[in-house]
Structure 1
Amino acid sequence: MDVETECEPEDPSPSPAAEGDKEEQWRGPRPRDHPKYTEMMALDIADSTQVYTAFLVFLDLLEARNWKDVIYKGSEELQLIYLQGCPGEQEEMELVVPMPIHMTLSHERIRQIMECVCDQSKKEFTLAIVDSDSTVVYYQFTNGFVIPDPPDSVEEVDSRQSRKRQKKFRR
C-alpha cells in the first residue's frame, strides 16, 4: 500500500508566533515543527531517522534544486518513505529514495526497491544519501548497464589521454 501526499508552495510570510522572540527568529523554526515533517511522521511507516532524512531531501529538492510537484509516498512493504517529483522544467516524474549515511545498502535491497517502488517499464531511481550535517549526495541507479554520455569537447578527450600516458610513464 502506497500513501501519497502532494506539496503546495508555502506562504513565505512569517507567522505571528515567529515574530515574537528575537532569538527564536534568529534560529528559525525547528524542522520537526514543519507541517510536512509531521505528515511524514503520521504515515507511521519508517523510523524517525528515516523520516527526518526524507524530510531533508524533500526540502533540498524543493528549495535548492527547484523541483516541481514533489510528493512523498510510503512503502509499508519496504518500511521506507520515498519521493517523486519533476526536476526543473522536466515533465517526467523521477523517483528519489532518501537514506541516512549510516544505513547499509545491499544488492538485494536495491533490487527490492526497484521491484516495489519503480515504474515497471523504467526501473531506475536516485538514491539520496544524507550525512549528519545535512549534506545530500545523489546517486542514480538503473537496472542494467547504461552507456555514459560522450565527452563534451575534444579537450576532455585529450586531457584524459594525456593523464593515461602520464600514469604509464610513472610506472
Structure 2
Amino acid sequence: MDVEIKIKEDMKSLGCESDMKISLAYQLYIHLVDEKLMYDTEYCYNKDVDTLYVVARPRKNEKLNIYVPIRTYDDISLDFINTMQENLCTVESGPSINLAFIEGDSTIVIYSFTKGLVERPSAEKISENRKKEERRSFINSELVRHRSEILHDALNGGVIDDDDCLVLD
C-alpha cells in the first residue's frame, strides 16, 4: 500500500471527514518530517474545533510545537487563532501555536503566535478607542481650519456678544 494513502486513511480514522483538511495536514506532515527534519512528528485531530494538526519537536530535547495547516486564501481572524490556542495548546506545548500557510504549489510558510505576549483588547475597547481617535481627529481638523480666527481672537482679546452671555444675580 502506498505510504501517502496509508497516512491519509490513518488521518481519516482519527475522525476528520474533510479531504481538504487531510490533504493539507498530509503536506504539512511530510514537510516537517522530510524537509525540516523534526523529531517526534505526529498528526492529531481535535473534534471540538474540527482541526487536523501536526505536533513535532524542532530539536530532540525541545518542547512539542503545534502546527495547524491553513490554505493561503483562507480568512484568519484573531478569534480563530485564540480558539486554536485554547483548544490545542497544552502544558507540554506551551502557549504558542504555529499556523502553516500552504499554497497550491505546496509552498509552506509558518507563522508563530504566542498567547499572552500582548493583551488583546475587547471589541468594545477597540470601538471605544476608534471613536476617541475619530473625535480627536475631528477636533484637530477644526482647530487647524479655524487657526487664524483663534489666533486673531487670542491676540485681540476676543469679542463677546451680550447675547452669548448669561447674567447671574
TM-score in terms of structure 1 length: 0.62
AA aligned to 2:112 is Q
Indicate the residue corresponding to 1:138 in structure 2: 110
Indicate the residue corresponding to 2:83 in structure 1: 112
Indicate the residue corresponding to 1:37 in structure 2: 8
AA aligned to 2:63 is E
Which of the pair has the greater relative contact order for Cα pairs under 8 Å at 6+ separation?
A: 1
Q: Say whether 1:66 aligns with 2:37.
A: yes
Q: 1:140 & 1:125 partners in 2: Cα distance?
A: 6
Say which of 35, 51, 57 aligns to 1:86. Answer: 57
| Aligned-pair identity (%) | 22
Once the two structures are superposed, what CA deviation does each residue of 1:66-99 show, in whole Å capped at 9, x if it has no partner?
0011111101111111111111334321111111
Q: 1:98 & 1:126 partners in 2: Cα distance?
A: 9
Indicate the residue corresponding to 1:123 in structure 2: 95
Aligned length: 117
Q: Which structure features the higher share of helix residues?
A: 2
**1:145 to partner: Cα distance:** 2.7
Once the two structures are superposed, what CA deviation does each residue of 1:116-169 show, in whole Å capped at 9, x if it has no partner?
1102582111110100001000000011338xxxxxxxxxxxxxxxxxxxxxxx
Q: CA RMSD in A?
A: 2.1
Q: 2:75 & 2:61 partners in 1: Cα distance?
A: 31
Indicate the residue corresponding to 2:130 in structure 1: none
Indicate the residue corresponding to 1:76 in structure 2: 47
Indicate the residue corresponding to 1:47 in structure 2: 18
Q: Which has the larger radius of gyration?
A: 2
Indicate the residue corresponding to 2:138 in structure 1: none
Indicate the residue corresponding to 2:132 in structure 1: none
AA aligned to 2:108 is V
After the TM superposition, which segments of 4 or more aligned residues of structure 1 sit over 6 Å from their partners?
A: none
TM-score in terms of structure 2 length: 0.63
Say which of 59, 66, 70 aligns to 1:99. Answer: 70
SS in 2 for 1:145: coil
